[in-house]
Amino acid sequence: MIVNCWGYNGQTPGPTIEAVEGDRVRILVTNKLAEHTTIHWHGVLLPNGMDGVGGLNQPQIKPGETYVYEFTLRQHGTQMYHPHADEMVQMAMGMEGFFIIHPKEPEQPRIDRDFCIFLQEWFVEPGTSTPNPNIMTDFNLFTFNSRVFPGTAPLVVRLGDRVRIRVANLSMDSHPIHLHGYNFKITGTDGGRIPASGQWPETTVNVPPGTTRDIQFVANAPGDWALHCHKNHHVMNAMKHDVPNMIGVNQSGVERKIQNLLPDYMAMGESGMSGMAVMNMPLPKNTLPMMTGKGPFGPVEMGGMFTVLKVRDDITSYDDPGWYQQQEGTVAWRVIE
C-alpha cells in the first residue's frame, strides 16, 4: 500500500533532529509544497520570532522560499517539530518529526537503548492514495512511524539493557501505548524530566495529542513482548467497518443460495472475525486487510499500532534476531484429556 503524504526531506515522520543542550542550531527550511508553510519547534525554549506560528511570529514561507531558524538550546528532552500553517491539513498529511535534545552532562544511569515512535492516524479511503485531512474522528489507519504491523520495526534489546522509549503524538486522539511483560516509569514529557518522586509506574502510557512521553525500564525479562495501542480498533487496519454485524447469525442457508449466483460468495463473521487473518478476501485497490502479521505460532491477527519488543541474552548485534525460542515447559500448554 502506497500513500501520498507530505513530509520533510522526503519522509514522514521527518528525520529525527538530534542536538546537545547548549548547542546553537541553524536550520534551513525550503518549502517544496504548493502552499505556504512554517515550522514550529514544539516544546523548545527559544526567541519569540523563531517560534514558527505563521502570521503571528513570522511571515509564511511561500512555495519555493527558504527560511532560516536559529536558536540556542537551553534544555534537554523529547521535543517535536511540525508546521503552524494550514495545520489541520499539513499535520494530517504527515508533516512532523522528533527534535531530541541530549543533556550536556550524560544521564545517570546510562540509557543503553533509546527508541522513538511517532503515533499517527490517517483516513485513506480504500481505493485512493491521499489522506483526507477533513476527517476528525473516523480514521481507518493507525501507524507507528508511518508503518503498520508487521511493517513496524521490532525493538531489539539485550537482557539487562536500560531502555527508553520516546513516544510523540500529533494526531486527533490520545493513544494508550501498552507494553507487555514489564512495569515501566513515565520519566519525561515535552516539558522536561519528571522528578523521580512524581513518576508513575505504568504498563500503559497514555499519550495525549500535542505531547511526548518518555518511558524507562530495565529489560530484565527475556522474550517477545507485544507493544501496542490499547484502543482495540487502532491495532486493526482498514476494512473493519461498514460490514454488517453477523455475530451469532446462522448464514448457512443464505450462503448456499447466494453461491448459486456468485460462486465465490463467502458468509463471514458468524463466530467472530478471526477468520479475517487467514483468508484472502478480495480488497479494493491500495488498502490493507484488517489483520496482518505472522508469529512463530501462526497469525498474530493484528495490524496498525503494534510491534514487538525483543529481549535477548545471547545477541551480539541489535539486528532482528527472529522469534524468541521459548524454553521447554514455559509456554501455555494444551491439556489432552
Q: Which of residues 254-283 bind a second copy (CB under 8 A)?
A: 270-275, 277
Residues facing residue 70 across a β-bridge:
26
The rounded distance, in Å, linking the Cα atoms of 175 and 303 is 15
Nearer to a second copy, 13 or 52 (CB): 52
The rounded distance, in Å, linking the Cα atoms of 52 and 48 is 8
> What are the grid coordinates assigned to 188, written together?
519525561
Nearer to a second copy, 167 or 235 (CB): 235
Is residue 36 a contact point for a second copy (CB under 8 A)? yes
**Which listed residue (165, 301, 307, 312) binds a second copy by CB under 8 A?**
301
If binding means CB under 8 A, how many residues of this protein chain bind a second copy? 129
The rounded distance, in Å, linking the Cα atoms of 272 and 291 is 13
Is residue 187 a contact point for a second copy (CB under 8 A)? no
Is residue 198 a contact point for a second copy (CB under 8 A)? yes
Is residue 1 a contact point for a second copy (CB under 8 A)? no
Nearer to a second copy, 10 or 263 (CB): 10
Report yes or no: 171 and 137 within 8 Å, Cβ to Cβ: no
Is residue 2 a contact point for a second copy (CB under 8 A)? no
Per-residue contact track with a second copy, 94 to 123, x per CB under 8 A? ------------------------------
The rounded distance, in Å, linking the Cα atoms of 179 and 164 is 12
Does an H or E element contain 75, and which?
A: none
Is residue 294 a contact point for a second copy (CB under 8 A)? yes
Measured from the Cβ of residue 27, the count of other Cβ atoms closer than 10 Å reads 16
Query: Of the ranges 17-25, 113-121, 260-268, 329-337, which one interacts with a second copy (CB under 8 A)?
Result: 329-337
Nearer to a second copy, 140 or 145 (CB): 140
Cβ 260 to a second copy shortest distance, Å: 26
> What are the grid coordinates assigned to 119, written together?
503515533
> What are the grid coordinates assigned to 208, written together?
495525549
Is residue 288 a contact point for a second copy (CB under 8 A)? no
**Phi and psi at residue 235, in whole multiples of 5°?**
-105, 20
Is residue 47 a contact point for a second copy (CB under 8 A)? yes
**Which listed residue (93, 101, 116, 238) binds a second copy by CB under 8 A?**
93
Cβ 185 to a second copy shortest distance, Å: 8
Does an H or E element contain 19, and which?
A: strand 17-20
Angle in degrees, CA 106, 97, 200, rounded to 5: 55
Report yes or no: 15 and 96 within 8 Å, Cβ to Cβ: no
Nearer to a second copy, 19 or 33 (CB): 33
Site for a second copy in 126-145 (CB under 8 A): 128, 130-134, 136-138
Cβ 258 to a second copy shortest distance, Å: 21
Site for a second copy in 201-240 (CB under 8 A): 201-204, 206, 208-211, 221-226, 230-233, 235-236, 240
3-class secondary structure per residue, 223-289: EEEEEEECCHHHHCCCCCCCCCCCCCCCCHHHHHHHHHHCCCCCCCCCCCCHHHHCCCCCCCCCCCC
Nearer to a second copy, 197 or 317 (CB): 197
